[in-house]
Amino acid sequence: MSNQLLKENLDIIREYHPLLDAMFQSENISVRADIQVGIEEVCDKKVLFARMGEETFQLDTLYDSNELVNLWFDHLGKIYLNAKLLIFGLGNGMFVRKLLECTSEDVRVIVYEPNLQILSKVIEEFDLTDILRNQRLLLIVEGMNNNTIEENYYGELNYTDLETFIYRSYLNYNRLYQNEYFAYMEALQNVCSSINSTQDVIGRYGEIYYQNTFQNMDFFIKSKSLQNLYQLLPKDVPAIIVAAGPSLDKNVTELKKAKGKAFIVAVDTALTPLIKSGIIPDICISIDGKKQTWHFKDPATHEIPLVCYLLSHAQILKEHTAEKFFLNDINHHVQHFLSGKNKVLPIISSGGSVANDAFSLVQLLGFTTIILIGQDLALTGNKSHADATLCGQLKWTADRFDDLIEVEGIDGKPVLSKGEYRLYCRWFEEQIRKYPELKVIDATEGGAKIHGTLIQTLSETIEEECKKEVDFQNIIARTQDYFSDEEKTDFIQYLLKLPEEMETALKDVKKGIADYIRMQEIVYKDKYRGNELKKLFQETSQIGERLEANPALDYVRNRIQQQTTDLLKTIYMTEEDERSELLAGCQKGIQYLKIMEQDLIKVIPDIRAKLERYKNE
């Protein structure tokens, strides 16, 4: 072992990978007791290996490593522009070093190390300083942050990566860390599915979300602060999340005993059965911009404090008269203003259902005892929802669905469910594993088993957990506004500049189209090796960067998403020869910018008209 080598590696880790450095500084490093890592000297060469039980796993060849690395690299296939290369395991760094040496500067390498054990040995024996200081490397080590694998990759992959990213395992890592590898691959599949789903939803509903956002601006400006609500709420009482599963019919009336002794959060679908049973929740959550307004048909729902998004259904917010609290739906234009004011609009983790969102909400508000009811995640009694809901009244039964599966029920016996419900269930289980300080009680009294929860009846749960009286209505009424009066004025002025910002963007778009057309002409004449093409390429790149960085264009990007989906999927895919690649790149650039140009021409006067009401404020 070279103390000098270890010191040099650790110095680079400290400078470039502070979260990893914190892991090495910690005394609680998690290792696999069944795995031993070592170095074997073979013909003056250090060979990394690991033993698990009676089996030895070579983590390098005994012979010429260059031959192995070159063969591995050649089998990667074509590496496209801006590709993401995902590697399971760093090992001794030889594969990552090859990637960084032999790919262009636009290519990014993302390594997931399932355990610190091997890396701890490697930094003692191998010089990784060149790899670790490379800005194109992202090294994610299990336990380095509090994120799940999915959460780490959601921020790194986007829709344009899905056709071009490459994933591989380091030599024998997939055998040595078999369970971790399966979890890693499942996480990548979940991320890709989620990105595709989000792209599809925004593509189909981008126009609806756009209309909702501008109609809801008034309510956002006058909204209340979730951060202040967190400060006011007691933390020694439980939160109850009421979903609308079929088992809600069994115990909904029991919930009356918890009123004023637990913070009751209802998902929008559960409002009707609650109100019919004489129960008014302390707050409800509705985030879906295309949600059925039927759930809010009872006037009593309008007086229940609401947690929502800017893109939530505008008609629901318009008829609603109580306090409104907004969550961050990643509207980059709004976020740009908030960042300038050092204001935080909370972002919550979502597993895809509004009940998942409600779970994240009560965590955000500081509750550590969380009680679930109506959270069947199964077709209990051959029903999808409680009787009083819209789906319940429509008698939605199992024969309506084509993705039926069997899962473990709360009593250990199989129950009928759906693939979609299983994803929601796994999200709950992941959150429970991730936050061991949470006490999660499943008082649904039916449906699928959510591993990690305590399974109890609602009656015994209320008796054990709901003992302290709290006036939640008074607390919510005392919650401060999200914006100060000065911030409200500043935000309105910021909104009024939006048409002007879009006019500037439109000029860039028109210039970009003209540049791409001129580039096409040059390529057709086979004069593409001259300075004019290089200059035009630099100009279009700068225009692209400005458009990408312009938060105002988020509204347009969402509106045109359906038209640009297939184009974006292949945007970085290259052709076989330089001339064809240049022509294809120009054509894609023209197509995309013309779609954006057409929408900007429509949307600028529309937004100007929508903002007219603020001109005298």
Q: Which whole number is the average pLDDT over 49-61? A: 90
| CATH number, position 36 | 3.40.50
**Which of 89-93, 294-298, 387-391: highest mean pLDDT?**
89-93
Domain's final residue, options 483, 511, 532: 483
Q: How many domains is the chain built from?
A: 3
pLDDT score of 388: 59
309 & 455 share domain: yes
Q: Which tens digits make up the pLDDT trace of 407-424?
A: 999 999 998 888 888 889
The answer to the question of residue 252 being in a domain is yes
The answer to the question of residue 123 being in a domain is yes
CB-based burial of residue 586 (10 Å sphere; 0-12 exposed, 13-18 middle, 19+ buried)?
A: buried
pLDDT score of 1: 46
Structure tokens at 202: 């925004």
Domain's final residue, options 146, 178, 193: 193
Unique residue bearing structure tokens 């756009």: 210
Parallel, antiparallel or unpaired: strands 55-58 and 45-52:
antiparallel
| Whether residue 112 has pLDDT greater than 90 | yes
| Whether residue 302 has pLDDT greater than 70 | yes
Residue 40's SS3 state is strand
The answer to the question of residue 491 being in a domain is no
Q: How confident is the model at residue 14 (pLDDT cuts 50, 70, 90)?
A: very high
411 & 512 share domain: no
346 & 472 share domain: yes
Percent of the chain beyond pLDDT 70? Answer: 93
Distance CA 505, CA 582 (A): 24
Of 451, 248, 271, the closest CA to residue 354 belongs to: 271
Q: Which helix (H) or strand (E) holds 581?
A: helix 578-610
Domain's final residue, options 454, 483, 512: 483
| Whether residue 102 has pLDDT greater than 80 | yes
The answer to the question of residue 198 being in a domain is no
**How does the average pLDDT of the chain come out, rounded?**
89
254 & 349 share domain: yes
Identity of residue 490: D
- Cα Rg, the chain, nearest whole Å: 28
Contact 307, 285 (CB under 8 A): yes
The answer to the question of residue 204 being in a domain is no
Contact 239, 365 (CB under 8 A): yes
101 & 227 share domain: no
The answer to the question of residue 140 being in a domain is yes
Of 111, 108, 112, the closest CA to residue 82 belongs to: 108
| Whether residue 51 has pLDDT greater than 60 | yes
**Which of 230-239, 286-295, 414-423: highest mean pLDDT?**
230-239
550 & 468 share domain: no
159 & 108 share domain: yes
471 & 568 share domain: no
The answer to the question of residue 202 being in a domain is no
Residue 326 phi/psi, 5° resolution? -105, 140
164 & 87 share domain: yes
Q: Is the dihedral of CA 483, 485, 488, 493 positive or negative?
A: negative
pLDDT score of 486: 96
Tell me the whole-structure pTM to 2 decimals: 0.77
The answer to the question of residue 558 being in a domain is yes
Structural domain of residue 455, as residue ranges?
216-483
542 & 445 share domain: no
566 & 473 share domain: no
| Residue 393: count of CB within 10 angstroms of its CB | 13
pLDDT score of 219: 97
359 & 227 share domain: yes
Q: Which tens digits make up the pLDDT trace of 364-417?
A: 999 999 999 999 999 888 787 776 565 555 455 555 656 688 899 999 999 888
For the sheet with 84-88, list strands across it: 137-141, 108-113, 84-88, 166-169
pLDDT score of 97: 95
Q: How confident is the model at residue 145 (pLDDT cuts 50, 70, 90)?
A: confident
